Structures are given as C-alpha cells and as structure tokens.
Amino acid sequence: MSKAKVGIVVFPGSNCDHDAYYVFKDILKVDTKFLWHKEGNINDRNIIILPGGFSYGDYLRCGAVSAHSNLMNDVIRFANKGGIVIGICNGFQVLCETKLLPGILLRNNNLKFVCKTVSLKVENNKSIFTGYYDIKEDIDIPIAHGEGNYFCDDVTLTELIGNNQVLLRYNDNPNGSIYDIAGIQNLKRNVLGMMPHPERVSDSILGNTDGLRLLQCVAESVM
Amino acid sequence: MAEPEVNLDLAIEHGLLEDEYNRILKILGRTPTYTELGIFSVMWSEHCSYKNSIKQIKTLPRSGGKLLVSAGEENAGLVDIGDNLAVAFKIESHNHPSAVEPYQGAATGVGGILRDIFTMGARPIASLNSLRFGLINSFDGKNEKNNLIEHTKYLFKNVVKGIGDYGNCFGVPTISGEVYFEECYQDNPLVNAMAVGIVKHNETASATAKGKGNPVFLIGSSTGKDGIHGATFASEEISEKSESKRPSVQVGDPFTEKLLLEATLEAIRSGVIVGIQDMGAAGITCSSSEMSAKGECGMYINLDLVPLRDENMIPYEIMLSESQERMLAVVEKGKEEIAKQIFEKWDLNCVEIGKVLDEKNIKIYHKGKLVADIPAFELVLGGGAPVYTRESKEPAYIKSKRNFDLNSVREPTDYTDVLKKLLSSPNIANKNWVYEQYDTQVRTNTYIMPGGDASVLRIKKTNKALSMKTDCNSKYVFLNPYKGGMIAVCESARNVVCTGALPLAITNCLNFGNPYNPENYFQFSESIRGIGDACRKLKTPVTGGNVSFYNQSQEYAVFPTPVIGMLGLIEDYKKTVTSNFKNENDLIFILGDNKGEIGGSEYLNTIHNLIKGDAPDINLDSEKNLYGAVLELIDRGFINSAHDVSDGGVGVALAECCIINKNFPIGCEINFDYGKLRKDFSLFGESQSRIIISANKKFEKDILAICSKYNTSVHNVGIVGDNNLKINSEINIGVEELIDFYFNSIKNIME
C-alpha cells in the first residue's frame, strides 16, 4: 500500500482536476484530495498535482495568475523542501511561471490548439517519474493545448540536457518545442512538468495505459 | 440616452406586426412604455415565441419512452438511462451571430447550450455541433469566385476556433459533429451547437419561480450593452446591413462559464434553489417572464440592483442585454446567505434583484419608477405569444429536379479516380483538421473518438455508455422535404446503432428560410412530418430543440436543414463496436439492399456538379428491422465492425472501413454484384438502410440466421486483408494513398 497522500490543486478554471483525482483515487487507490486554491492545506500531502485546464481563464498569460495565488506560495515552499510536484499541461505552465522549472511555454508553432495522441520517447528513466518505463521506450500519450511550445535559452537547454533533466521528448514534434521537449524535471529531481496528459491514458477501460505507469511510479516512490 | 416615443412606427421598427402592436395595446389597456415595447418585441420575436413554428412542432412525438420531462417544459429534455441517472441534452442554433462575427458567434452558441444543460442540474459531459458553410475549394473549377472562397474559409476557421476555445476552456470534450459545404450556405452559414449532460434523478433543477416573497438573484457576469436585440437579429434575414448588427453579437467568457457551472451545481445540490434559468436570448426579460409564467406567479425586479458594466444603461437596455454567463435564480427565503457563500467562493456576482410576487405581472422598477408592468403569461410561448399558421406551397423546383433524367449522366471511365475525388471532397473527407482543434478527451470518458459513425462516452462507475451523433443530409431535404426529414432521423439513429447503442431520443435544430415564403414553409412543415413519422416508428421522442428561420440572403434560402441530435444507450460498454475492418480474412457483409439511387448523392454533386433527382427511398419498417439485426449481432459478439453506408455510397463506406483507423489500415477484396444497375449508380448510390459489417467466418451461419430473423437482407461481398482496396475490376488502390486523400484534404485546403 502506497504511503502517497496526493493533493490536487484546484484553481478557478482547472478542468483536468477530476481526471487526475479519478486515477489516483479510483485506479491507484491512493489517499487523494482536492486543494481549493483559497483554502487548501498541503501540510498532510506528500505529492502535489497541478492539473490541466485554463486557470484564471489563461487570460493574462497561461499560468501567470495562478503562479501568484496563495496556495502556490505553499507549493513553492513545499517543492523547495523536496516535496514532489507534478504539473500537467496548464500545471507545467504554472511551474514555469513560478520558476520552479526553467523555460516557458509559447503558443504552438501552427498557432492552433491541438488535441491528439502523440508518440513520446522516454529520454531518461532514472527518475521517480519515469522509472517504470524502459529507456528510449516509445509511449503514446495525448496532448491537448494551444500553448505547449517549450522554449528556453541555449545555456538552459545545455544544462537541461547535461543534467539529465529532459525526461520525455516528442517523436514527431507537434508544437515546435525546442529539442522536442515534452517533459522536464528540476535539478533536484522532485518537480516534473509535462505537456502530455498521462491521466488520460491511465484507465484500461479506455484502452491505452501508457500514462498510468508514470503516475503509479510517483505514487509508489513515496515509501 | 433619451427614450423615444412609443407608437406603431416604432413597434414596426422593432419587428412587430401592426396586429401584434394592437394586441399589446389591448393587453395593457394603454400605450406600452419604451421598455415594455422592447420586452414584447423580443418575447414575441420568432426566436423566443416560435410563433410560426409551434403548431408544427406540436405534431412531433414529444413525450413517452424514457422521457422524464416532455419537450418544452424545461430548458432541455431529460431522458432516463437507469442507475438513477438521467441525460439532459439539447441542440441550438447560433447562425446569424456566426455569419457576422464567426468566432464569438460560435463560442457563445456553445456557451448558451452548455448553460441550458447545467441550469437543469446536469454536468455537461459532451459538446457536439453541426456546421454548414459555402464552398471552400474550387474543385474541378466548380467555384471560381475566389474572394467568396476566402471569406468562407475565414468563417469556417473562426467558427471552429470559437467552438474549440470555448469548450476547451470550459472543460467539456467536443466529441462529435458534422460539417458540410454547399453554395447555398455562402451568406448564411449554419452553426448548431449541442450539449449533453448527466444528472442524478434527485438532483435536477427546474426553471420555475414560485413561493411568494422568495428572493430573486442575478448570478454571474455583469450586464453590459452587448447582445441587445440578439433575438430580434436572429429573426430576420441576412443582408448587407447585417454587418452593422455586429454589436448584437454577444461576447463569450468560458472561464466565467466554468465557474458558473461549478457554483450552480453546488448551489442546486445544496437545496437552496427553488428554480433557476440561464439567460440566453432576451436576457433578464426572457428568464424572468418564463420563470414567472411557468410558476403562475409574478416577479418584482429592481434594475438599480443589477451589476452593470456601463452605469449609463437605460432600463430598456438592461432588460434586453444578452450579456453572457448569467443566471436568474429563485432562492428559498431564509437561505440567501448559503447561496451567496457558494457563489462568492467561485468569485461570482450573486445579487438579490427582486422577489417572487403573488400576482400575475412582472413589475420592473428603475430609479424608483415602474418602467414595465406586464402579465408574464402574455409574453410567453404557450401563453399570450402569437401563434400563426403560414401559407404553404410546394416549391416549383421540386418537380423539375425530380424529372431530371439521371441516366443522362455520363458514366465514368476511371472508378479509382472517382473514389479519390469523393474521399477528398470536403463533404466526405475526414474532419480531423476540425476535431483535432477540440479537446476530445477531457474528463476521460471518451470511449470512441470522433471520426467514425457516432462517438461514445462511458459513464464512470456504471457499465453504461452513451452514443451520440448529429446528422442531416440537407440535399435530400431540399429535393424531398418529407423523405429528407425521415432520413435525417434514420441516419443519425443508424450511426448510433453501428456502435451498439439503442436509439433513445432526439433533439432537433430546424434551420430554414423565411417562413413567410410559402415554399420555405412547405419545406418546413413537410420535413417536420417526416421527422415525426420516423420518430414515432423508431420510438425516439423529440426532447426539445430549436427553430431557426430566416436563414437566407436576399436572393435565396439555405437548403432546408433540420439537424437531428441523436442519443443512444449502450448497456455494456464492453460490447461497443467501431467502424473499421480489423482482422485479415474476416468476411464482409452488406445488410440491406442496393437500389442504385443517385438522386441527391454526393457522387452527383462532386463528380457531376448536380444536385438533382429525388432523395433515396426510405422504408421505416426495413430501417427498424436493420437496427434489430445489427444490435443483436453486436450484443452476441458476432461482428468486429459496423459502418453505415451514407454519403458516397458503398464505395466510400468500404474505403472508410479500411482506413478510418489510420494507424491500423487494412485492405479488402470485394466482389460486388451490380445486378442490372449501372456500375456508378451501384457503387456510389446512396440507398438507405444499409450497414457494412465484418466478422469471423465461423459466425457466418449465425449472421445469416439473425438477419433472416429480422427480415433483413444480407450480402456476402468480400474479405478483409492485404493493403489494397479492391472492388471488382473497377477499383484497386493502396490504403496508404486513400489515407492521404481522406485525412489531408481539408488541411491542404485550409493551410
């Protein structure tokens, strides 16, 4: 039985919160609760999920307003102390806005929202996130975003590659991301940001379960 | 702004008839105020009153079966699916706004229909749509008017973006739809949005005001000057002046809508809500008068309390504003604070603006002055709103189109080339360019993705799944409104049957031209007769919907387009079937008979540039038998795929079976008996009531037996395998090449 205690942050406009909750609670049978941005308490949680969606409507810039919410201050402290944080899609954008992860997510290079299943390559499987995959394994996980075009400067990119922070790369780049980056971890290896949605491919009823292994790996990393 | 003097001329300017104005004088016993004139004009507009359509609508089967709420009683229909769950679903048009401001027009169309669903307490689980535009390509030199093409592409691109951006942000998967391109939609595109939601039986809400003294709350966005007279704009023809109506188009805010959804559902579950209705057309006017009329009470409203975006708004504007993302709720007296807390949690306005009255009038006050005092009943559909029967006359074109000698059409020499052209014609080509811009998976219920026959959503924590589809072949309705109406119902039913679902109920969006033109009215009443007959036979009642008249430019009306939104239920999601061929050596059968009918076909349209002949015949008994056979074949696990034969006939349907799952394409070899029919009529004719299935050879006898039991003819036509689609000696083409034509055609046109 996993000791994981998952907290799923709910911003106004989060809309993949229920999907992440369903996977942790109903499929992985892990202690899971929602954390409302105004009153959520992360103290008894050991894994924090920033779910996909359009927090605050993404009206200023994706993730920019959420990054300054009260609860995010707690999440930043939590992450800096080594707590596990996963940002999926809009959550990845929030992590970049808070600087917990380097770089930024620009509009897709074709300027259109795109929702489809894409093939990813596992670039590094020595992480608490990707440990259940084989190195260089191809996995299929859907994307659904208008602003998933990862960008950073050359120095940062060299560091990301040199420090094995790049975990997932697109086999057929759908959005223009630099170095085909789909997901990265921070230097301390406790924070993951990824544009594809692992929670959407975690239920065997729907066929593909390539995403479940990632979420399960994290849940079981907490002893 | 100073209020103008109210007289007959001003009433006519507001779209009212002289008779109608006289009725208003009689009802009130005095000259209406400017605000009252505005209220009557929107409530009696075609859009709100259904004055020219309701008599026909009432001939449709609107109750029975699994319906929990009869059509017209609430914002959307409600269908029982067992397990203490009900499905709310409805389709609505947003054609005119989308013609002048495609992005916001389409976005607010989606927003409006989603509110109709969650105002009933149901959480939206799917968004669908049905779109019609002018031509986007100059295929075979068919349309040389390049600036028109560019404008249509602009409309198409922005409508798709508007639908996507709204639904994606709101967090509902947009899972199915249809898109057609015909010249008749050049000036007046059709944008119909459908939403489907799920609610527990004991958590539904009603759009009723009752209980003297109960407070009335306005919830959600502030009220601005946007969308004033949107309902009236929807009730007139598109013309050069329409561009100036751009301010009538509302502006959508899907983020606020998402908050409104969560807060509304929370409030309904908390039990403090007596009644609630969303504000769509005619804003506060429509919601207050409809809720009051339904509850047989009155309502006091103080406009000074309405949160405004513009302090200088006059009562007329406040009452008629169609600012989006607002609801009107009657809260149980004494529980105001609970309601306020819920909405404040979601950062939404929740302001008490009035009270329920123990009398029949809505009384609107502004700066201490009574600015409107009208019996609610007199304003609404089913109450005092006018009801008309219009003159009807069979259009002259019908006979001449029908008398066209179809045998005079030149027989093609290269059938493979014809198939390529059909598969890449925008009407038939896969719409992946469209649906990849929609989030199709959020909420992780999507069991069958868009692209095939119908899309399927599983319902978590049950074995059930819902199958849904929008459909209408408007060429058929144009050529034969009665048969076309029947076929629209049957084709959408056939689509859900192909996934293994029992058709339960429909919603419809009736898009027609000006009803004052007798020929248009004939199209309208005849297609309703067809829809009614089909729905009675198939036992799929009409749960509600929407009528959209005046879809025309100054020169011509659009094809009559009664779009059907079909809902089907699958008891065990594991038994769901998809449309693609799967296994080498599976046998291929066609159920139903080929009569070589090419009237109104896509073949005739795309290859020969003709929309002529008669719509194909439809026999409702055969159709119903076909469903029985296919549903039993699926239930007993005998078949591996099912796909209906529609646009482009058997040729196109077989190609789709080979490539619809483009990651796993597979070929097939077909030996087709043309009988006495012309080869092109046989391959590309669109005879109805046909479904292509594939199955392991060991089930052949069972399949024949079941088809015989249901009196459905079955033809063994070939075998699955290899990498080519081969049909007799006429067609032989690699599946990879077909994929390119079918999946990239629209992208190549648009990018």
| C-beta of residue B14 within 8 angstroms of C-beta of residue B4 | no
Q: Which of B346, B444, B751 sits opposite A12 (nearest CB)?
A: B346
A140 contacts chain B (CB < 8 A): no
* A81 Cβ under 8 Å from any chain B Cβ: no
Least Cα distance to B600 among B517, B507, B491 occurs for: B491
Q: Are residues A199 and B458, on separate chains, in Cβ contact within 8 Å?
A: no
Residues B454-488: b if buried by 16+ CB within 10 A, e if exposed: bbbbbbbeeebbbbbbbbbbbbbbbbbbbbbbbbb
B405-413 average pLDDT score: 96
Strand, helix or coil for residue B322:
coil
Taking contacts as CB-CB distances below 8 angstroms, the residues of chain A near B253 are 57
B618 has pLDDT over 80: yes
Distance of CA B559 to the CA centre of its chain: 16
Is position A147 annotated as part of the catalytic site? no
Q: Clarify whether B229 is annotated catalytic.
A: no
Q: Say whether A142 and B441 touch across the interface (CB within 8 A).
A: yes
In chain A, alpha helices (H):
17-22, 70-80, 90-98, 154-162, 212-221
* Rg of chain B over all Cα atoms, to the nearest angstrom: 26
Distance from CA of B381 to the nearest CA of A (A): 36
A220 and chain B: CB distance < 8 Å anywhere? Answer: no
Residues 6 or more apart in contact with residue B674 via CB below 8 angstroms: B682, B728
pLDDT band with cut points at 50, 70 and 90 for residue B543: very high
Chain B contact present for A208, CB below 8 A? no
Q: Give B-chain residues touching A54 at CB under 8 angstroms.
A: 168-169, 171, 254-255, 258
What is the rounded CA–CA span in Å between residue B555 and residue B552? 8
For residue range B160-180, what is the model confidence (pLDDT) as tens digits?
Answer: 999 999 999 999 999 999 999
Q: Does the structure show a pLDDT above 80 at B140?
A: no
Q: How far is B173 from chain A (nearest CA, A)?
A: 10
Q: Which residues contact A178 (CB under 8 A, 6 or more apart)?
A: A150, A151, A152, A157
What Å distances lie between residue B430 and B395, B641, B703, CA to CA? Answer: 34, 18, 30
- A residues 148..187 contacting B (CB < 8 A): none
Is the minimum CB–CB distance between B311 and chain A shorter than 8 Å? no
Task: Tell me the pLDDT tens digit for each residue of B22-78.
Answer: 999 999 999 999 999 999 999 999 989 999 999 999 999 988 778 888 877 888 889
Is A115 in CB contact (< 8 Å) with chain B?
yes
SS (H, E, C) B158-206: HHHHHHHHHHHHHCCCEEEEEEEECHHHCCCCEEEEEEEEEEEHHHCCC
Only one residue has tokens 């996995």, namely A139
Distance from CA of B254 to the nearest CA of A (A): 7
- What is the chain A residue with the closest CA to B663? A117
The confidence band for B145, taking pLDDT boundaries of 50, 70 and 90, is: low
Average confidence (pLDDT) over B321-344:
95
Give burial (CB, 10 Å; 0-12/13-18/19+) of B619: middle
Higher pLDDT, B65 or B476: B476
Helix boundaries (H) for B14-145:
18-28, 34-43, 46-49, 54-57, 95-100, 102-118
Which of B257, B444, B448, B574 has the most A C-beta neighbours within 10 Å, making it the best mutation to test the interface with A?
A: B444
Chain B partners within 8 Å of A59 (Cβ): 255
The B residues from 112 to 171 touching A (CB cutoff 8 Å) are 161, 164-165, 168-171
The Cα diameter of chain A in Å comes to 45
Collapse the DSSP code of B128 into the 3-class scheme (helix H, G, I; strand E, B; otherwise coil) and give the result: strand
Contact by Cβ (8 Å): A84, A122? no
**CA nearest neighbour of B6 among B29, B25, B31:** B31
Q: Which CATH superfamily is domain A5-220 in?
A: Class I glutamine amidotransferase (GATase) domain (3.40.50.880)
Contacts of B639 (CB under 8 A, 6+ apart): B577, B633, B693, B694, B695, B699, B703
Beta carbons of A206 and B437 less than 8 Å apart: no
Residue B437 touches partner A, C-beta closer than 8 Å? yes
- B202–A contact, CB cutoff 8 A: no
The answer to whether the Cβ–Cβ distance between A206 and B460 falls below 8 Å is no
- Tell me whether residues A206 and B436 touch, CB distance under 8 A: no
* Smallest CA–CA distance from B461 into chain A, residue: A26
Q: Does the pLDDT of residue B248 top 90, yes or no?
A: no
A217 catalytic per annotation: no
Rg of chain A over all Cα atoms, to the nearest angstrom: 16
ipTM for this prediction? 0.96
pLDDT at residue B241 greater than cutoff 80: no
What is the per-residue pLDDT across B72-124, written as a single tens digit (0 to 9) for each?
Answer: 788 888 999 999 999 999 999 999 999 999 999 999 999 999 999 999 999 99
Please say if the pLDDT value at position B569 is more than 60.
yes
| B335 has a chain A CB within 8 A of its CB | no
Q: Average of pLDDT values for B504-527?
A: 97
- Tokens representing B648? 């482009």
Sheet bearing A114-122, strands edge to edge: A31-36, A5-10, A47-50, A84-88, A191-194, A181-185, A166-170, A114-122, A138-145
pLDDT of residue A32: 98
Question: Chain B closest CA to A173's CA: distance in Å?
Answer: 15
Q: Please choose, from the candidates B610, B622, B601, B598, the residue with its C-alpha nearest in 3D space to the C-alpha of residue B691.
A: B622
Determine contact: A59 vs chain B, CB below 8 A: yes
Give mean pLDDT, residues B270-277. Answer: 96
| Structure token digits, residue B688 | 């109805």
Distance from CA of B130 to the nearest CA of A (A): 20
CA–CA separation, B524 and B513 (whole Å): 9
Please check whether residue B324 touches A, CB under 8 A: no
B439 and chain A in contact, CB less than 8 A: yes
Tokens standing for A162? 């040199």
3 state SS of B593: coil
Is B744's pLDDT higher than 90?
Answer: yes
Those residues whose C-beta lies under 8 Å from the C-beta of residue A153, and which sit 6 or more positions away, are none
In angstroms, what separates the C-alpha of B309 from chain A's closest C-alpha? 19
Q: Which one of A89, A96, A123, A152 is the catalytic residue?
A: A89
Instruction: Give how far Cα A91 sits from Cα of A49, A202, B216, B308, Å.
Output: 8, 18, 38, 34
Q: Where exactly are the structural domains of chain A?
A: 5-220
Mean pLDDT of chain B: 94
Nearest alpha-carbon partner for B120 in B299, B265, B246, B289: B265
Count Cβ neighbours within 10 Å for each residue of B361-380 and write b for 16 or more, e otherwise. Answer: bbbbbbeeeebbbbbbbbbb
Q: Return the sign of the alpha-carbon dihedral for residues B652, B653, B657, B662.
A: positive
Considering the candidates B14, B47, B96, B608, report the single residue annotated as catalytic.
B47
Residue range A142-165, pLDDT digits in tens:
999 999 999 999 999 999 999 999
DSSP string, B687-707: -SS-EEEEE-GGGHHHHHHHH
**DSSP 8-state class, residue B213:** T
Residues in chain B closer than 8 A to A197 (CB atoms):
441
Distance of alpha carbon B152 from alpha carbon B131, whole angstroms: 12
User: In this model, does residue B278 exceed pLDDT 70?
Assistant: yes
pLDDT at B378: 96
Residue B326: the pLDDT is: 94
Tokens coding B225:
């000057």
pLDDT over 80 at B245, yes or no: no
Residue A7 pLDDT? 98
- As a residue count, chain A comes to 223
Q: Which of A34-48, B130-144, B517-531, B639-653 has the lowest mean pLDDT?
A: B130-144
Neighboring chain A residues of B433 at a CB cutoff of 8 Å: none
Window 440-479 of B, Cβ < 8 Å to A? 440-444, 446-447, 458, 460
Share of chain B above pLDDT 90, in %: 89
Contacts of B560 (CB under 8 A, 6+ apart): B474, B477, B478, B481, B484, B511, B512, B513, B520, B523, B524, B527
- Between A37-46, A47-56, B266-275, B351-360, the lowest mean confidence (pLDDT) is in A37-46
Q: Do the Cβ atoms of A15 and B258 come within 8 Å?
A: yes
Output the pLDDT for position B559. Answer: 98
Judged by DSSP in three states, B641 sits in strand
Q: What's the pLDDT tens digit per position in B676-707? A: 999 999 999 999 999 999 999 999 999 999 99
- Identify the CA nearest to A83 among candidates A138, A114, A44, A119: A44
Helix, strand or coil, per DSSP, at residue B275: strand
DSSP state of B560: P
Residue B455 pLDDT greater than 90, yes or no: yes
A-chain CB neighbours of B436 within 8 Å are: 114-116
pLDDT score for B249:
78
Task: Name the residue among B169, B447, B460 with its Cβ closest to that of A54.
Answer: B169
Instruction: Please say if the pLDDT value at position B540 is more than 90.
Output: yes
pLDDT on residue B235: 72
Q: In chain A, what residues touch B446 (CB-CB under 8 Å)?
A: 206
Q: Is the pLDDT of residue B555 over 60?
A: yes
Q: Which helix (H) or strand (E) holds B283?
A: helix B283-295
Q: B98 in helix, strand or coil? A: helix
Residue with tokens 């942000």: B169
Find the CB nearest B169 among A57, A116, A202: A57
pLDDT-derived band at A102, boundaries 50, 70, 90: very high
Which pair of structure tokens corresponds to residue A155?
A: 């120095």
Task: Render pLDDT for B358-396 as a digit per residue (tens, 0 to 9).
Answer: 999 999 999 999 999 999 999 999 999 999 999 999 999
Contact check, Cβ <8 Å, B253/A58? no
Distance from CA of A64 to the nearest CA of B (A): 15
DSSP 8-state symbol, B42: H
- For CA atoms B337, B340, B342, B344, give the dihedral sign: negative
Mutate to test the interface with B, among A10, A11, A15 (most CBs of B within 10 A): A15
Note if the pTM is more than 0.90. yes
For residue B139, the model assigns a pLDDT of: 52
Q: Closest Cα of chain B to A18: distance in Å? A: 7
Q: Write the residue in B255, B345, B346 that is nearest to A54 by C-beta.
A: B255
Q: Does the pLDDT of residue B659 top 70, yes or no? A: yes
DSSP A26: I
Whether residues A57 and B170 touch (CB distance < 8 A) is answered with no
Alpha helices in B553-675 (DSSP H): 602-608, 620-635, 649-659
Percentage of chain A with pLDDT > 70? Answer: 100
Residue A163 neighbours by CB distance under 10 Å: 14
Whether residue B255 lies within 8 A of chain A, CB to CB, comes out as: yes
Residue B275 main-chain phi, psi, to 5 deg: -160, 150
